Amino acid sequence: MNTSRELEAVTRVRLSLLAALLISFATPVLATRHERTVDAWRPLAYKVAITLNDDLTTITKARTEITIQVLREGLALIDLDFGEMNIDTVTIGGQVAKFDRAPGLLNVHLANPAAKDSRVVIAVEYHGKPRDGLILTADKDGKPSATGDNWPNRVHHWIPCLDHPSAKATVTFSVTAPARDLVVANGRFDRVSDTSPNLRTWTYTEGVPIPAYCMVIAVGEYAKLEPKPPAITPLSYYVPQSDTRSAMRGFVAATPSLKFFSETIAPYPYEKLALIVGATRFGGMENSSAIVFASTLFDSKTDQRMSRAFNIPERLEDVVAHEIAHQWFGDSVTESTWSDLWLSEGFATYFAGLMEQQVDGEDAFRAYMKRAADAYFAYEKQRRTPIHDTETEDLMALLNPNNYQKGAWVLHMLRSQLGDDAFFRGLRDYYLTHKNATATSDDLRDALEKSSGSDLKDFFARWVYGVGHPQYEVRTDWLLPNVLRITARQLQQGSAFSDPLPIRLTTAKGTQIVLLKPTGKETVADFHLDGPPTNIEVDPANTVLKELIVRPMM
């Protein structure tokens, strides 16, 4: 996903909800967040059949069949997340089942308690207009459209499910829509057939487990375009007719992003990739193999930074790379809990930056990371919480610079400290170990410890589970004969950060890099030089997330 322009360093396009966030900053949070757990039953597969009316304003009929694995002996009730649509029937194994409803829930009662590890097939038939999740509205050209937009837990408004990212399952969509429309959904396109002179039914199958919030359909009078030469996976663009000329240019970063991420981490994990311009409240939403971008994506804006590689607005390059990176991190490897959201958003933010580094160069990458740091510093002045936030109840409020920009910086610091070889080898091992499953922050730590041989417990404790960042005041003193004394004081609240601070020292005879290794809130180190320094640069490559004051040499 991508945040709005106020969080520009991520990709500048998500969260028109900033005012609500600012209000939440002032509200103290005192309790651990309640979220659903996968402990009694687990969905394995969904089959969702939906028929839409002619103007795409309502679901005339729908049937969702869920194959469930029982995790608790003697289970007597399946508590599905479900919204307010009208229910026609509920069956278990083809037999009519007893059910009742509670706010946001559909409780299905089993005729007999189920044994652990057994499977239950529940089918729910329903109809109506969903309150959220499936957005039934006109596209930017004024034509009817239907677009799934589920994050964080809004899919249950149109699909009965277990609406939590850790409850991953396969999904098959059969969508009956007016013959004028194109339909796209997660997974492989199976077939399209004429249901009547005015209706067609489209079927897509996603054969690997994906998070519930990534399960989407998109229906509309799209123009469908395909880039040439072909990408490493079937790639297509579904856009309103008025965006036909903009799409091929605007999505030009898609094929290079797919190639770069596939070579850096692992082969692309899904059967195809569709990039869709439609109804989403976010700048981009990373639905597995069917990414949806905001309808304003290609609108012209003033004073835009331009991508050197593609000669398009840099924001387009970033948002496309960000959402494609999510296909690996967030979709294929999914956060186990909402507290681990940075494993999705921090990764996508950093990998969009890596894409800039790859195609636009080091200066563009450093500027990207500086904007990320500035966004995080501004956020922390409003609210101090750890990246691994167990308390914030409003899930939308987790879309903040902690999970995006600070998360990206945590990865950048790990890369800087461990080196490229150990860092990327660790990420590949992490990805392959948790592919099509879920992961925690400690799973990432474990993978990087194994690849590097380093103990990262203190690093994660300070940067992921702790709050804040170092605020350095650095003073240098020239002591005869030929000794440079560097004093670094950390001014931030709380305990010290121990990350090594590189310092580049230039004398008349050359340049050298020394490492200042903090031992507490104040560190003093002496360095023998061949003459007085002509220039002193603290962290010249910007490898530590910090605020810095450098005092003139005495």
Angle formed at CA 110 by CA 78 and CA 210, multiple of 5 degrees:
35
Residue 381: exposed, middle, or buried by beta-carbon count in 10 A (0-12, 13-18, 19+)?
A: exposed
Residue type (1 letter), 268: Y
Contacts of 26 (CB under 8 A, 6+ apart): none
Instruction: Please say if the pLDDT value at position 7 is more than 70.
Output: no
- How many Å apart are CA 383 and CA 189, to the nearest integer? 45
pLDDT at 25: 37
| 341-353 core/surface letters (b: 16 or more CB in 10 A; e: else) | bbbbbbbbbbbbb
Instruction: Please say if the pLDDT value at position 12 is more than 50.
Output: no
pLDDT at 318: 98
State the average pLDDT over residues 495-522: 96
pLDDT at 338: 98
Would you tell me the crossing angle of helices 342-360 and 407-418 to the nearest 10 degrees?
Answer: 60
Instruction: Please say if the pLDDT value at position 2 is more than 90.
Output: no
423-479 tens-digit pLDDT = 999 999 999 999 999 999 999 999 999 999 999 999 999 999 999 999 999 999 999
Instruction: Please say if the pLDDT value at position 8 is more than 70.
Output: no
| DSSP secondary structure code for residue 194 in this structure | E
State the average pLDDT over residues 409-430: 98
- How many Å apart are CA 56 and CA 146, to the nearest integer? 6
180-189 tens-digit pLDDT = 999 999 999 9
State the chain's maximal CA–CA distance in angstroms. Answer: 93
Element (H, E) at 536: strand 535-538
Rg of the chain, C-alpha, whole Å: 26
Contacts of 111 (CB under 8 A, 6+ apart): 92, 95, 97, 98
* Dihedral pair phi/psi, residue 65, rounded to 5°: -110, 125
Element (H, E) at 69: strand 59-70
State the average pLDDT over residues 533-538: 96
Does residue 376 contact residue 406 with C-beta atoms inside 8 Å?
yes
pLDDT at 148: 98
Q: How confident is the model at residue 192 (pLDDT cuts 50, 70, 90)?
A: very high
Does residue 490 contact residue 444 with C-beta atoms inside 8 Å?
no
State the average pLDDT over residues 11-15: 39
Would you tell me the crossing angle of helices 441-452 and 407-418 to the nearest 10 degrees?
Answer: 10
pLDDT at 16: 37
pLDDT at 301: 87
Q: How confident is the model at residue 6 (pLDDT cuts 50, 70, 90)?
A: very low
How many CA atoms, within 13 angstroms, populate the side-chain half-sphere of residue 192? 14
State the average pLDDT over residues 495-507: 96
Q: How confident is the model at residue 481 (pLDDT cuts 50, 70, 90)?
A: confident
Angle formed at CA 79 by CA 74 and CA 81, multiple of 5 degrees:
155
pLDDT at 120: 98
25-82 tens-digit pLDDT = 333 444 789 899 899 999 999 999 999 999 999 999 999 999 999 999 999 999 999 9
- How many Å apart are CA 207 and CA 406, to the nearest integer? 34
- How many Å apart are CA 83 and CA 102, to the nearest integer? 9
pLDDT at 3: 59
pLDDT at 480: 82
Contacts of 261 (CB under 8 A, 6+ apart): 268, 324, 325, 327, 328, 351, 355
Mean pLDDT (the chain, rounded): 94
Give which of 494, 507, 504 is closest to 539, Cα–Cα. 504
Instruction: Please say if the pLDDT value at position 543 is more than 70.
Output: yes
288-338 tens-digit pLDDT = 999 999 999 999 888 899 999 999 999 999 999 999 999 999 999 999 999
pLDDT at 99: 98
Q: Dihedral, CA atoms, 352, 16, 413, 450, nearest 10 degrees?
A: -80
